[in-house]
Amino acid sequence: MTSPRTFTTALDRQLRRAPGDPLVTFYDHASGERVELSVVTYANWVAKVSSLLTEECGLERGQRLRIDLPPHWLGPVFLGAAWTVGLVVSDSDDVDAVVCGPATVARWSERADDLEVLACSLLPLGLRFPDGVPEGVRDVGLEVWGQPDSFIPWDPPTDDDAATVGDDGATVSQADMMEAAATGSLLTDGGRLLTVANPTSPSGVATFIEPLVRGGSMVLVANADPERLEATAEQERVTARV
């Protein structure tokens, strides 16, 4: 079967194949939180965030987004939304918008006049910041719920559009990212990958994209307790770990 060449194609294929299967399962060993997103639930979140990025923030295809979040289920959501819209995910400070969490919202709020700053409380269920956010910062937990569950970009990205860019300026296209995922070795087709890596980091992107492209799923563990990892792996029936 031909491998998908864009993120949207890969997600649409999984929606047709197994919409109710888990795609992202998130554990926080420190708080005890567990969140599971099926393919269709993940797609709904991606649609809402895509609408937030374009309709509310005014971001356009080709602009750059930094996802400054710790390991969390919202990380893959923002990755998917970025690639649905055609944004380029970058670790640089030279970006058009940034997504941050509680630990860095104060720092990024100082640049709210120059770029879009979206803050995630990282509370269960994607809730808003209980005490609000600094002026000029968008509270994702407040603004995302009013967005629609479906999204069709007016200027959709192609397989040649950049998906990520490194600090050296080198870009990786959506097609190259998908091809690398299809031929990757992190797991077998349909497998379940447990990882403690941050999927929004340049080295961690494959931990999400490869399971998506290969019809599998990801189990992401934050604040991993080494003594609990084995139990988590057994409970989630993982087939590979990284």
Q: What kind and span of H or E run contains 190?
A: none
Kindly give the interhelix angle for 74-85 and 39-51, rounded to the nearest 10 degrees.
Answer: 60
Integer angstrom CA distances of residue 234 from 35, 228, 239: 17, 10, 9
Q: How far apart are CA 103 and CA 205, in angstroms?
A: 22
Q: What kind and span of H or E run contains 16?
A: helix 7-17
Determine the pLDDT at residue 207. 97
Determine the pLDDT at residue 67. 98
Determine the pLDDT at residue 203. 87
Q: How far apart are CA 67 and CA 98, in angstroms?
A: 6
Share of the chain above pLDDT 70, in %: 99
Q: What is the mean pLDDT of residues 137-165?
A: 96
Q: What is the CATH number of the domain that holds 119?
A: 3.40.50.12780
Give the domain range for residue 134: 7-241
Whether residue 1 lies inside any domain: the answer is: no
Whether residue 30 lies inside any domain: the answer is: yes
Whether residue 2 lies inside any domain: the answer is: no
95: CB partners within 8 A, 6+ apart: 64, 65, 66, 115
Determine the pLDDT at residue 168. 76
Q: What is the mean pLDDT of residues 35-49?
A: 98
Q: How confident is the model at residue 81 (pLDDT cuts 50, 70, 90)?
A: very high
Determine the pLDDT at residue 1. 55
How much is the mean pLDDT over the chain? Answer: 96
**In sequence order, what are the beta bridge partners of 217?**
192
Q: What is the mean pLDDT of residues 164-187?
A: 91
Judged against a pLDDT cut of 90, whether residue 178 lies above it is answered with: yes
* 77-91, 92-106, 107-121, 154-168, range with the lowest pLDDT: 154-168
Residue with tokens 């390991």: 71
Q: Say if CB 199 and CB 79 are below 8 A apart.
A: yes
Whether residue 69 lies inside any domain: the answer is: yes
Domain count, the chain: 1
Would you say the pTM of this structure is higher than 0.75?
A: yes
Whether residue 171 lies inside any domain: the answer is: yes
Determine the pLDDT at residue 170. 87
Whether residue 150 lies inside any domain: the answer is: yes
Share of the chain above pLDDT 90, in %: 94
Q: What is the mean pLDDT of residues 208-237?
A: 96
Residues for the chain: how many in total? 242
Whether residue 154 lies inside any domain: the answer is: yes
